[in-house]
Structure 1
Amino acid sequence: MSQYIQVSEDDNSESIEVPTEVDGTLLLSTLSAQFPGACGLKYESEDDTCAVQRIHLSDGHLHPPDDGWSDRVYNIVFKDNKRKSEDDPDDPASKTKRMDNKCTDLIVLGLPWKSTEDDLRQYFSQFGELIMVQVKKDLKSGQSKGFGFVRFQEYDSQQKCLNLRHMIDGRWCDVRIPNSKGGSQHQVNSKIFVGRCTEDMTEDDLLNYFSKYGEVIDVFIPKPFRAFAFVTFSNHDIAQSLCGEDHIVKNVSVHVSNALPKPVDKHNNHGYNRGYWDRRNPPYGNYNQGYGMGGWN
């Protein structure tokens, strides 16, 4: 029987739930779908030594400890090349990273309709000094479009903000670096990630449920079953209005968040096919759950 385990990027990050397989193992592909670059898990032993233990990986499966997964929180182990770029001061990638340590506009997705610019300024000021706050509004009605932008004065404030989840006016919101290169932001924002799905949910079930909010143009449940699905709307504003909330589908609570794929090389066969993902090569391993982990790549 599958279960959910608590996983976080590090000790200072919020944890999220990741589903295991029916045999009790956790697929590395499932883990990397939520944390790109992940290659394993580790945890601190509960005895007096507090030694760091690595989870055994075999054939793409992470096996539970001898005492089971239990209720502990597991931290991500990232690939060595990522850590080298971050830690080695002489590494070219590290130098480039230091040169890029400048603040940029951050997009705030999934805002409640009632949230104002004053609300955003009051909330985000806890992370540092702000130099810009904006809520995007419809030109005709003046109503919020459900997203906005903020910019910090200091880079450390920006990083602190990106590493956390954000509850604004009663709703979980995603804060990310907008995608300024390649791909269509409209297309990305029209797709939502539906987590905590059950095996008896069909594409028709999700289509029937989410169609009450607006026109649905695509529903995709990955095979083999991975406890999540993707729903694409014709209107990206409708998709964003649903993000950060729980919905009841077939008497089961599912969580909706942003589906954010990495840019794809348009010259290979793993990219968009007339605006849709090629299902022969499903790229759901490149998605995160929209819980505030990572940014727009």
Structure 2
Amino acid sequence: MFIGGLSWDTTDVEGLKKYFSQFGKVDACTIMRDPDGRSRGFAFLTFEEPESVNAVLAQEHTLDGKTIDPKRAIPREEHLRNTRYFVGGLSHATTADSMRDFFSAYGKVVDATVMVDRETGRSKGFGFVTFEDSSNQERFVGKLGLVLDDKEVGVALCIACIA
């Protein structure tokens, strides 16, 4: 499983393992870290039994005072078929239409979404773009210098986007 949204205080693999062991026997658990050792705010976890994943996904979770976002992890081979990408660093002026226009230079865009705060209606500064196919991803995934609405953006494979 991919465990996103971890608190910066969640640094202990054993604590994470202990929390998720209520859903089944945890096989392995790794908190992803920066080169300097700080948590990157997400982890990967595997269970011995696949049914444990379903039990986790059936409810919401809070760990170390923060709501976390567990998702079913996708095998590496599946990423090759992924056509949905995370776009970070969006300007507050960016709209789904301006995102669609910008990314259409890289292929046929089937969806563009800017995530907004429910209460304020303001952009959260990130969104998602989905292409018809992944044939041009090397032109924009992880590339520097992509400027959308006068702001440099970053694009990454969306591992948590595939159901």
Classify the TM-score, shorter chain.
0.5 to 0.7
Q: Residue 10 of structure 2 aligns to a residue in which SS?
A: coil
Which residue does the alignment assign to 2:23?
127
**1:153 aligned onto 2:54:** no
Q: Is the 8 A contact 1:191 1:230 kept in 2?
A: no
Which residue does the alignment assign to 1:66?
none
Distance 1:259 1:119, change over 3 A: farther
* Aligned residue type for 1:130: V
1:185-226 per-residue CA deviation (whole Å, 9 max, x = no partner) reads 9x945549xxxxxxxxxx85x26xxxxxxxxxxx33359xxx
Which residue does the alignment assign to 1:296?
162
Name the structure where strand makes up a greater proportion of residues.
2
* Aligned residue type for 2:114: F
What is the CA distance between 1:266 and its match in structure 2?
3.8
Q: Name which structure has the greater RCO, CA cutoff 8 Å, separation 6+.
A: 2
Distance 1:262 1:190, change over 3 A: closer
Which residue does the alignment assign to 1:170?
65
Task: Say what the alpha-carbon RMSD is for the aligned residues.
Answer: 4.3
CA–CA distance in 2 between the matches of 1:171 and 1:274?
A: 36
* Aligned residue type for 1:133: C
**Structure 2 stretches of 5 or more lacking a match?**
99-111, 142-159
**Structure 1 stretches of 5 or more lacking a match?**
1-105, 193-202, 208-218, 232-245, 277-293
Distance 1:254 1:164, change over 3 A: farther
Q: Is the 8 A contact 2:81 2:134 kept in 1?
A: no
Q: Whose Rg is larger?
A: 1
What does 1:1-297 align with in structure 2 at a 5 Å threshold? 106-116=1-11, 117-139=13-35, 141-179=36-74, 180=76, 181=78, 182=80, 188-191=85-88, 206=92, 219-222=94-97, 229-230=113-114, 252=120, 264-266=132-134, 274-275=139-140, 296-297=162-163
Task: Give the alignment's TM-score, normalised by structure 1.
Answer: 0.34
Q: Is the 8 A contact 1:162 1:295 kept in 2?
A: no
